[in-house]
Amino acid sequence: MRVLLVDDEKYIRDEFKYFMDKFEGVEVCGETGDPEDVIPMVRDLKPDLVFLDINLQTQSGLVIAREILDLENPPQIVLATAFDQYAVKGFDIGVVDYIVKPIMEERLKRCIDRARQNMDIRTGVVKKEATASKPSAGKKMTSIAVAKNDKLFLLKLKEIVYLEYFEGKIRVFTEKDEYSINQTMKAFMEENGDGFIRTHKSFIVNIDYIEEIIPWFNYTLKLRIKDFDELEIPVSRNYMKDFKEKLKI
């Protein structure tokens, strides 16, 4: 994976490079602190991933991100910021992740892992065995970053009732609130799927919140969810086999 670093503080770029030297298969192909250099460097170096400071001294990183994403075959972008509330705005224009300064090695690795996963999805690569980019056994995530009203929150996975893909976004529902995440349904299941089940191309459900399973037409099912009286989530035929196997029915 080829990485371009954009930050007007050299010590921040050096910090990125120090950690990235530890990651297998990651190459820093270029770096700059000048916003005017970014687009030409993206065109010339063709990086797979750009770490972009959101608060450059002479230009907003969000403006540059839009310009990058307007290019043909643009790289993925991770925003770097000292204030995580500003990073949420980047999700609206298509960045894949954000990282808060000071840089933490574990968080940086998660950004790299997500970008690698997205590259695999783009190119249709199916990995036959676990790689370093996947979470190691015993270190499964218990929380996930979610967004609401231009703010980011850390939400415990066990509090999620269900997820719905709607109008290009993934909505996350708890018993009391609604959030969004910048992740595909497939990626969510790969990273956090133990307590969840995919029932439909547009729905993922927390198994602990399934209250009733109702037979429906054409050998499909509907689910009633605890504390959501009016909600019925479909189980489509495409997901029926996995659904029955996971719930042992």
User: d(Cα 91, Cα 46) in Å, to the nearest integer?
Assistant: 22
CATH entry 3.30.70.120 includes domain 153-247: no
Residue spans per domain, the chain: 2-123, 153-247
**Residue 135 has what pLDDT?**
47
Torsion angle of C-alpha atoms 110, 13, 44, 22, degrees rounded to 10: -50
Written as tens digits, the pLDDT of the chain (249 aa) is 999 999 999 999 999 999 999 999 999 999 999 999 999 999 999 999 999 998 888 888 888 988 998 888 899 999 998 766 555 665 666 788 889 888 999 999 999 998 888 887 665 544 444 444 444 444 567 888 888 887 778 889 999 999 998 877 889 999 999 999 877 888 888 888 889 999 999 999 999 999 999 998 877 899 999 999 889 999 998 899 999 999 988
Question: Which is the CATH superfamily of the domain at 2-123?
Answer: Response regulator (3.40.50.2300)
User: d(Cα 106, Cα 80) in Å, to the nearest integer?
Assistant: 15
User: d(Cα 182, Cα 160) in Å, to the nearest integer?
Assistant: 15
In this prediction the pTM is 0.52
Local structure of residue 103 (DSSP, 8 states): P
